[in-house]
Chain A
């Protein structure tokens, strides 16, 4: 049988109904599109690429030969979400983010959820993302995960699933902002015709949100800084972009030092204290005295300052225990345990390969499943069963058998599609969605987010490191 490479002919298309009429949120856009000269759109598409290249909106792909800087392809057909759909999503995300923070607080304090028998103790305590250094410590404002990027997929008119809770350092928000900027530059008329909710104030909200969680002892205006691993990091552009847009310093570990119980940065006039550090450096590298001793990216002693309550670190160290793929399968229980309500957003059914029954099922159904590494990210080390070759599946089965606890498996969801512009017109491609959430004394969800789109027909892998692109994401007022 000739496989259609995983294209699910029945995939839900967000723009077009089965009868070739546009779905309601796209109706205004569809009329506009129909009136456009296709060659002009193709030319615009090139123009967009030039804007991105010129601006330097690039990312580095690790392990590529001529790697240094790549563009993430931008598709100029927007992904449009109605106000009604969004409200539903936003409520579900808010509930989930509240639960994540409550879970983290509990895990690092009384561990009631373990005592209640809802999740196994070893899942937490044997997990590398669990940081004993955080036990008994409550970050300023009681917030652990300040910035969350909840990955969501859709399979039908009303079916949304949470695919991942990115509670450590979700990236990509600069693309959300640049995509919107580019669309507004290229097609201003679309923003007159459609009432698109703004996302541009994200940097402002982020700064406000971070500043509001400054340590209690901070007098005066809190000094915020963004910590980057440096110019060679794949997301460096984003770090610089956010620091610039927030109007705060972009610092590296080598700029910082602990002096008199405070974290200070070396300025042209001497050392100056930082109150809130938005760090884009992983836990492991944050403090060579506490974590990896070989880390040159971190600040020796910052964890002592943190535990003494003299700096806010966002997101808090140790938040990884809440978005670990092994924990993910327990999210419905977690949400219910802390919010007292059933989750508003569904989890994707997940087999934990650590459980012998599940492992057996997974091995028998590899050609239907997506198997992921528990600690992996960026689409690396995963198997998409339906599109993998027999040989790839066989190789993967061996890996599964040797380290079952390292994997989870999920059914291959028929992700919704949104059209992209191709030479012959438009063609549907699978998408996901990452909205961005800011947590302080309130939860703010930016109406929009990053839509990632698989550019290859039928592909379900949307990661930019694997050839995915992005789209501007509109949430309409209605």
Chain B
């Protein structure tokens, strides 16, 4: 396969993953403003930070309002992580690697783009938001379904999956890092309604508030939330799960090509530490420091994959 094609697949799936993530963050933000007695623009401050676009927002807008924040996250082309920017970039990459995709996967991606472009052609009204969020989830689900149902399990599949999970791990780590302080035992006055809202919003940001209840009983506890999102191998958005997938997809490539790269060592090292470290160890070491280091390693892994497989 061409290095450029591997690169295109990797980014196509990173962007689709990011589009969904941005939509999920908006959803969590909306939810928070609904459940709070006094709706606060601060909620959106956190959401923009989680999306990693807080500073960019200030370059475009003078004041922080929920309407502007939603629009910025949803459809502003000045924000490369907005849902629309991501869908456009994902589809752009899909066009570039059209020959590597099944017709079903390409069409699902193209239709997602056409539909979202039409739907987001104007500024969305708050009343439209549930429909829009739903549509994004549904369209992304169709891409995923077509991809899983029709693609050969070969190198094309591996590079696509690697893109998905590198992006997802990055997203989850960032969401945690923005809110890490509310999870710290010293600060957390357990049980206050304020904290409950914050914790729940973290779980909502990764669509995991229901799943959490099944795994840890209904009680929200900071250590459990951190454990769920970092170590739990059954939680599809946890760092541990993402690295199981990354390592296994890199493993396929290693066997297929008979070639090992720096990326393999990095991924396996990260996976081993995710498996062995307990949440208590991580908390003791410092959650913020841990997450910062994770994000930087995750970026480095992306670079090593790009070098090893000759993306450029």
Residues of A within 8 A of B (CB): 53-56, 231, 236, 240-241, 243-244, 249-252, 254-255, 265-270
Q: Which 4 residue pairs across A and B have the least CB separation, nearest first?
A: A240-B98, A268-B309, A244-B99, A266-B3
Contact assessment for A268 and B1 in the assembled complex, using a CB-CB cutoff below 8 Å: yes
**B304 interfacial by beta-carbon distance below 8 Å:** no
Q: Which stretch in B103-111, B181-189, B241-249, B271-279 binds the other chain?
A: B103-111
Contact assessment for B3 and A53 in the assembled complex, using a CB-CB cutoff below 8 Å: no
Question: Can you offer 18 A-B residue contacts whose CB atoms are under 8 A?
Answer: A53-B114, A54-B111, A54-B114, A231-B95, A243-B99, A249-B2, A251-B2, A254-B4, A255-B2, A255-B3, A265-B2, A266-B3, A266-B310, A267-B2, A268-B3, A268-B257, A268-B309, A269-B259
Q: Please, what's the 1-or-0 string for B90-103, where 1 marks a CB less than 8 Å from any CB in chain A?
A: 00100110110001
Beyond contacts A243-B99, A268-B257: 19 other A-B pairs, Cβ-Cβ < 8 A, are A53-B114, A54-B110, A54-B111, A54-B114, A55-B110, A56-B98, A56-B106, A231-B95, A249-B5, A251-B2, A266-B3, A266-B310, A267-B1, A268-B1, A268-B6, A268-B155, A268-B309, A269-B257, A270-B310
Shortest beta-carbon distance, A230 to chain B, in Å? 8
Q: In the complex, what distance in Å separates the CA atom of A249 from the CA atom of B100?
A: 9
Contact assessment for B3 and A267 in the assembled complex, using a CB-CB cutoff below 8 Å: yes
A56: chain B residues within 8 A (beta carbon): 95, 98, 106-107, 110
Residues of B within 8 A of A (CB): 1-6, 92, 95-96, 98-99, 103, 106-107, 110-111, 114, 155, 159, 253, 257, 259, 309-310
Q: In the complex, what distance in Å separates the CA atom of A53 from the CA atom of B95?
A: 14
Interface centre among A231, A244, A255, A267 (most CB of B within 10 A): A267
CB-nearest residue of chain B to A236 = B95
Q: In the complex, what distance in Å separates the CA atom of A254 from the CA atom of B111?
A: 29
Say what secondary structure dominates the interface of chain B.
Answer: helix
CB-nearest residue of chain B to A270 = B310
B4: chain A residues within 8 A (beta carbon): 252, 254-255, 266
B111: chain A residues within 8 A (beta carbon): 54
CB-nearest residue of chain A to B106 = A56
CB-nearest residue of chain A to B309 = A268
CB-nearest residue of chain A to B155 = A268
Contact assessment for A231 and B114 in the assembled complex, using a CB-CB cutoff below 8 Å: no
B95: chain A residues within 8 A (beta carbon): 56, 231, 236, 240
Shortest beta-carbon distance, A47 to chain B, in Å? 15
A255: chain B residues within 8 A (beta carbon): 2-4
CB-nearest residue of chain A to B102 = A244
Shortest beta-carbon distance, A253 to chain B, in Å? 11
Interface centre among B2, B103, B106, B259 (most CB of A within 10 A): B2
Given contacts A53-B114, A266-B310, A268-B3, contact A250 B99 (CB under 8 A): yes
CB-nearest residue of chain B to A268 = B309
B110: chain A residues within 8 A (beta carbon): 54-56
Contact assessment for A231 and B310 in the assembled complex, using a CB-CB cutoff below 8 Å: no
Q: In the complex, what distance in Å separates the CA atom of A252 from the CA atom of B5?
A: 11
Interface centre among B96, B159, B309 (most CB of A within 10 A): B96
Shortest beta-carbon distance, B109 to chain A, in Å? 9
B106: chain A residues within 8 A (beta carbon): 56
Q: In the complex, what distance in Å separates the CA atom of A401 from the CA atom of B257?
A: 65
A250: chain B residues within 8 A (beta carbon): 98-99
Q: In the complex, what distance in Å separates the CA atom of A236 from the CA atom of B94?
A: 13
B253: chain A residues within 8 A (beta carbon): 268
Q: In the complex, what distance in Å separates the CA atom of A270 from the CA atom of B2?
A: 9
Q: In the complex, what distance in Å separates the CA atom of A56 from the CA atom of B309?
A: 29
Q: In the complex, what distance in Å separates the CA atom of A268 from the CA atom of B3?
A: 5
Q: In the complex, what distance in Å separates the CA atom of A421 from the CA atom of B96?
A: 35
Contact assessment for A249 and B99 in the assembled complex, using a CB-CB cutoff below 8 Å: yes
Interface centre among B4, B95, B106, B309 (most CB of A within 10 A): B4
Interface centre among B98, B159, B310 (most CB of A within 10 A): B98
Interface centre among B1, B6, B103 (most CB of A within 10 A): B1
Shortest beta-carbon distance, A66 to chain B, in Å? 12
A265: chain B residues within 8 A (beta carbon): 2
Q: In the complex, what distance in Å separates the CA atom of A255 from the CA atom of B312?
A: 8
Interface centre among A55, A254, A265, A269 (most CB of B within 10 A): A269
Interface centre among A243, A252, A267, A268 (most CB of B within 10 A): A268
Q: In the complex, what distance in Å separates the CA atom of A249 from the CA atom of B96?
A: 12
